[in-house]
Amino acid sequence: DISDRKQADERQRVLINELNHRVKNTLATVQALATYTFRRGSDDDALSRFEGRLMALSRAHNVLTDESWSGANLRDIAADTVESIAGQGSNRLRLQGADLYLKPQLALSIATVLHELSTNAAKYGALSSPEGRISLSWTIEEESSGQVLKIIWEESAGPIVSPPLKKGFGTRVIERSLSQEHQAKVKLEFPFTGVRCEMEIPIIEVV
């Protein structure tokens, strides 16, 4: 039937265009990661950091693929990303929040931010100490601008924290990726008890 063939061709065209769009977005993210990671030269540590960032994107892609790229459960993204550094099934990570599905591009951005926070925690924060703990919570809240998804990362029982003397790439990723791509508000703080990061994301980014 000609009409069925036309409908099938149209569905295929839409799928190819959507795939092309997503691949371009991912490649742009990879390009940005490479540019910042190797800006000061190439060495083994830079290569390791870059590989870690790519793996975080890869894990988020796997979660999205399991959901046919319709969205990703925030809990799955958080667990996969943080536990890749803290250890699978780690009791050092506490997740609190209802099941929420994020749009694909936001899911990738959240995975990138959580990877940077986890890496920093493993080097200098809660995950560098056997007693250290991480709490990640999320809620939907009403603000003057409308409903927002509020995500809070809090570290505790780790080494005493002090603010960094200068911002590294990881800090810039945490502060900028969500605010520039998703009009989110990001507040990164360094109380002596542990790093705290608060993210407010417009509800339109939630499926």
pLDDT in tens, the chain (207 residues): 677 777 777 777 766 666 656 666 665 666 666 666 666 555 667 677 778 888 888 888 889 888 888 899 999 999 999 999 998 777 899 999 999 999 988 999 999 999 999 999 999 999 999 999 999 999 999 988 889 999 999 999 999 999 888 887 778 878 888 888 899 999 999 999 999 999 999 998 887
Q: Would you say residue 69 lies in a domain?
A: yes
Distance CA 27, CA 32 (A): 9
Tell me how crowded residue 184 is: count the other CB atoms within 10 A of its CB: 21
Residue 157 inside a domain? The answer is yes
What ranges make up the beta strands (E) of 24-119? Answer: 72-73, 93-96, 101-102
Q: Is residue 42 part of a domain?
A: no
Q: Please provide the DSSP assignment of 137-176 as one string.
A: EEEEEEETTEEEEEEEEEEESSSPP---SS--HHHHHHHH
What's residue 128's pLDDT?
Answer: 95
CATH number of the domain residue 122 falls in: 3.30.565.10
**Helix and strand tally (H, E) in the chain?**
5, 7
- Note whether residue 28 is domain-resident: no
Domain count for the chain, please give it.
1
Residue 180: inside a domain: yes
**9: which 2 tokens?**
């061709």
Residue 188 maps to a domain: yes
46 burial type by CB count under 10 A (0-12 exposed, 13-18 middle, 19+ buried): middle
Q: Give the tokens for residue 197.
A: 């990061």
Residue 43 lies in a domain: no
What domain range is 141 assigned to? 51-205
